[in-house]
Amino acid sequence: MSVAFPDLKQADVEWHTFEWKTTHVQPWQPGLVVQTGDLIRPTVPNGFFFEVTTAGELAGREPNWNTIAAATTPDGSAVFTARTPAAASEPTILSCTYAMSPAGLVEDSVAIDNDRMETRIRIDATGADLGTYTITATMTDSSGEDHIRSASLTVVA
């Protein structure tokens, strides 16, 4: 999966985010029939998975997810309960490494946020040549599986 980060001025240092979407939990879909115990993730990550606690058919429009742990969200004839990744027994991000090419950008700082299911890298473009760079994140989850995401970033004057 590749994304494009916003342009970065040559003299700036900015944070950029990679989302980590587990392949173990299916995304919300309209009209999906769900069973008690199924896990669903919102189409826009919010730090929670949602466990089906009342089976049913999902509505035609994604609900406004309740983002309080153990709170419920109705959807069509189904009801979900908000679960953190750990409470849902799903893998979390254990570590992340970054590679940047061509050389020139500097990794200033990094962060892992398992609540939002994302990693962040603070990139320093001071002294970098103008042009397009590729940043590749290798995120290793708590089950040992690697997830690779890449993004392009253009350094401008």
Q: Which of 88, 127, 93 is nearest to 8 (CA)?
A: 127
Strand partners, 152: 4, 134
pLDDT of residue 25: 81
State the Cα–Cα distance between residues 139 and 154, nearest whole angstrom. Answer: 23
- What is the radius of gyration, based on Cα positions, of the chain? 18
Where are the chain's structural domains?
2-21+91-156, 26-83
Question: By the 8 A CB rule, do 22 and 117 touch?
Answer: yes
CA gap 139, 95 in Å, rounded: 6
Distance, in Å, from the CA atom of 129 to the CA atom of 85, rounded to the nearest integer, reads 40
Rounded Cα gap, residues 10 and 28, in angstroms: 40
- Given a contact cutoff of 8 angstroms between Cβ atoms, the answer to whether 68 and 87 are in contact is no
As given in the structure block, the two tokens for residue 3 are 């994304």
Tell me what pLDDT residue 21 has. Answer: 62
Q: What is the pLDDT of residue 115?
A: 67
The pTM of the whole model exceeds 0.75: no
Strand order in the sheet with 49-54: 26-27, 39-41, 49-54, 78-83, 72-75
Mean pLDDT per 10-residue segment, the chain (157 residues): 79 83 79 94 85 96 94 98 80 88 92 79 92 92 85 93
Check residue 2 and give its pLDDT.
64
pLDDT value for 124: 93
- Report the alpha-carbon distance of residue 118 to residue 7 in Å, rounded: 20
Q: Of 84, 54, 80, 76, whose CA–CA distance to 65 is shortest?
A: 80
Domain 2-21+91-156 of CATH type 2.40.30.40: no
